[in-house]
Amino acid sequence: MLFNSIDFAIFLPVVFLLYWFVANRSLKWQNILIIAASYLFYGWWDWRFLSLILFSTVVDYLVGIGLSKTDELRKRRILLWTSISVNLGFLGFFKYYNFFLENFITAFSFFGSDISASSLNIILPVGISFYTFQTLSYTIDVYKRKLEPTRDFISLAAFVSFFPQLVAGPIERATNLLPQFDSPRTFSYSKSVDGMRQILWGLFKKIVIADNCAVHANYIFANSADMDGSMLLLGALFFTFQIYGDFSGYSDIAIGTARLFGFDLMRNFAFPYFSRDIAEFWRRWHISLSTWFRDYLYIPIGGSRGGTWMKVRNTFIIFVVSGFWHGANWTFIVWGALNALYFLPLLLAKKNRQNIEIVAQGKHLPTIREFGGMMITFWLTVLAWIFFRAESLTHAFSYIEGILSPTLFMMPDLAGMKALLLIVPLFMIFEWFGREKEFALAQVEGWNVYTRYILYYIIILAIFLFTGEQQQFIYFQF
């Protein structure tokens, strides 16, 4: 079920009314309703894959109980690796089986040996990368004694399958979200209004910005061999704003929806295109994944401790694994490695944490130095996104070669783009002035009530006017 669909527009208010007016007297029944709604939400796409979520939940519940009953290190490690093997085993099979098989065959062919093996027609379960990491956070934190294992299977099942962020995040930590299922929840009008505001902004990002940018980005990337350099550059820019509007829009809708039910999800985007260096960018982009890899992979393998070689090794591991998490294609691995190359100079010079505060905090405009840093970081990111979007490495390199050709200076064909080329800058200006808030539309909270509602109606009108062909969220494929 898509957030930007009629199905969800009916589903959400029905679940909301049942949750607060029917199941509101019992925490247990509220959690059961969440599980039922979440399984319906996910099963709307393909009910067969509900068995994967249920099986992972049962395994991790039993592992958690087992960890609570033993202090013997060997048994605890066996239990932990049982959870890791089951969860990553599912992820590896559905997402990476054909990738490894094809590269295995290619490697043997390179050395003159031909082997035959058939790839499988595997359907990738929507959101498997997200809920796999979410449930793993539970068993790892229980193993590390950061979290007491729950004996309430219903709470754990609700945590694993919570529908607002089930298929595309944020990837919640058990230490943050699981206790919220064990605590009584009361309806908060102000929290719900804020949630609706964030949902509205997320829908604007998705429908007006992302979906309309997608039309042009898809066309230009699909026909890149016939495009001038100026059009190719526009295509890269359209995809840059498409993926931001698409993914941060999903996160906004997820976080806002969770607020309607009394839950607080972690922030997933913090205006990343206003970053002054690539380290700041990765503290602001897909925060739930970046911090997951930091805490469960980067720090355990040594982090930034040790000598130069270890710092370089660990940086490449974390970025390449992050790239591979996004998809079974060499383009994602190169995208990750390229970001590691961007990041390394900052790390080795110990400047990777020099831009912690919000850019130009308390000011209307950045300094020249801050603006320059933002421009460099933005264009480095645009270059990296080309690898992320391209169909293959050959496609990516030919696309970049086309941009760098003399035709870069030709006037692009702007037919059908003029309205979007006006809306995107206005959108970014609005985001700039809201950058000190959790999301841009939150800045209207202190505005005059009439001005505030005029803006709401303008946003709603824009959503209706610019609604085109329904586009699936990009991160559903991951």
**Any idea of the CA torsion for 158, 163, 168, 170, to the nearest 10 degrees?**
-60
Same domain assignment for residues 200 and 133 = no
Two structure tokens written together for 46: 């393909």
- Is the separation of the CB atoms in 308 and 369 below 8 Å? no
Same domain assignment for residues 96 and 212 = no
Which residue is associated with the tokens 């065959």? 105
Same domain assignment for residues 175 and 221 = no
Report the C-alpha gap between 451 and 288 in whole angstroms.
34
Examine the fold and report which residue of 187, 213, 234 is the final residue of a domain before the chain moves on.
187
Which residue is associated with the tokens 């929290």? 191
Asked if pLDDT for residue 81 goes beyond 70, the answer is yes
The CB density around residue 190, as the number of other CB atoms within 10 Å, is 9
pLDDT tens digits, 384-443: 999 999 999 999 999 999 999 999 999 888 888 989 999 999 999 999 999 999 999 999
**Which residues 6+ apart lie within 8 Å of 181 measured at CB?**
31, 34, 152, 155, 158, 159
Which structural domain, as residue segments, surrounds residue 147? 6-187
* Confidence band of 122 (pLDDT split at 50, 70, 90): low
pLDDT value, residue 429 = 97
pLDDT tens digits, 220-247: 999 999 999 999 999 999 999 999 999 9
Asked whether residue 283 is domain-assigned, the answer is no
Look up residue 162 and give its DSSP letter. Answer: -
Q: What is the count of structural domains for the chain?
A: 2
Asked if pLDDT for residue 115 goes beyond 70, the answer is no
Residue with the bigger pLDDT between 292 and 110: it is: 292
Examine the fold and report which residue of 158, 187, 216 is the final residue of a domain before the chain moves on.
187
Same domain assignment for residues 55 and 137 = yes
pLDDT value, residue 106 = 57
Asked if pLDDT for residue 101 goes beyond 70, the answer is no
pLDDT value, residue 25 = 85
Mean pLDDT of the chain: 90
- Is the separation of the CB atoms in 160 and 250 below 8 Å? no
Asked if pLDDT for residue 152 goes beyond 90, the answer is yes
Asked whether residue 103 is domain-assigned, the answer is yes
pLDDT value, residue 133 = 92
Average pLDDT over residues 308-337: 91
Same domain assignment for residues 102 and 195 = no
CB-count burial class (<10 Å; 0-12, 13-18, 19+) for 425: exposed
As annotated, the active-site residues are: 326
Asked whether residue 130 is domain-assigned, the answer is yes
**Which residues 6+ apart lie within 8 Å of 103 measured at CB?**
none
> Could you give the angle at which helices 368-389 and 393-403 cross, rounded to 10 degrees?
140
pLDDT value, residue 317 = 94
pLDDT tens digits, 10-19: 999 999 999 9
Same domain assignment for residues 262 and 408 = yes
Residues above pLDDT 70, as percent of the chain: 93
Asked if pLDDT for residue 291 goes beyond 80, the answer is yes
Asked if pLDDT for residue 376 goes beyond 90, the answer is yes
Examine the fold and report which residue of 187, 219, 250 is the final residue of a domain before the chain moves on.
187
Same domain assignment for residues 12 and 148 = yes
Residue with the bigger pLDDT between 25 and 267: it is: 267
Asked if pLDDT for residue 67 goes beyond 90, the answer is yes
pLDDT value, residue 148 = 93
Least confident of 102-116, 147-161, 169-183: 102-116
Asked whether residue 262 is domain-assigned, the answer is yes
Report the C-alpha gap between 295 and 40 in whole angstroms.
32
Same domain assignment for residues 207 and 137 = no
Same domain assignment for residues 100 and 216 = no
Asked if pLDDT for residue 118 goes beyond 60, the answer is no
Report the C-alpha gap between 441 and 458 in whole angstroms.
13
